[in-house]
Copies of this chain bind each other. A is one copy, B any other.
Amino acid sequence: MAEDATGLAEERCVACRRDSPRVEPEEAAALIGQIPGWTIVQRDGMPRLERTYKFGDYPAALRFVQRVGELSEREGHHPVMEVRPRRVTVWWWTHAIKNLHRNDFVMAAKTDALADAG
């Protein structure tokens, strides 16, 4: 199992059903260490991964939203995004299990890679 952020970003999402395993607190602590900049927040009674990215201009923010959208369509796992002028917040969680799945950490790492790509 990959133990650095690059490895996490290279994993693929696995199909997720209602009986899929949630990430246990100990594993979550280890995984969050691989994606600095992300925090676990509670919203609507479910934990979510959250990160806000800043951009130099609005078109750059729009391009990022588009790339994250295309990634999520390829992986079959979609985030919620809030798009503001020059700021985009992304939340990952797994609705089917109302919790965090390993997929969410994988997607967070992949999202970072898209932001780094500029």
Contact = CB atoms under 8 A, between A and B. Distances in A.
Interface of A: 58-59, 62, 65-66, 69-70, 72-73, 78, 80-85
A83 B70 CA distance: 13
B80 A84 contact: yes
10 contacts: A58-B72, A58-B78, A59-B73, A69-B83, A78-B84, A80-B82, A80-B84, A82-B82, A82-B83, A83-B83
A114 to B, nearest CB: 14
Candidate in A65, A69, A73, A84 with the most chain B CB atoms within 10 angstroms: A69
State how many copies of this chain the complex holds: 2
B84 A82 contact: no
Contacts of A83: 65, 69, 80-83
A62 B83 CA distance: 12
Contacts of A80: 82-84
Given A82-B83, A83-B83, 7 more contacts: A58-B69, A58-B72, A58-B73, A62-B69, A62-B73, A66-B66, A69-B83
Contacts of A81: 82-83
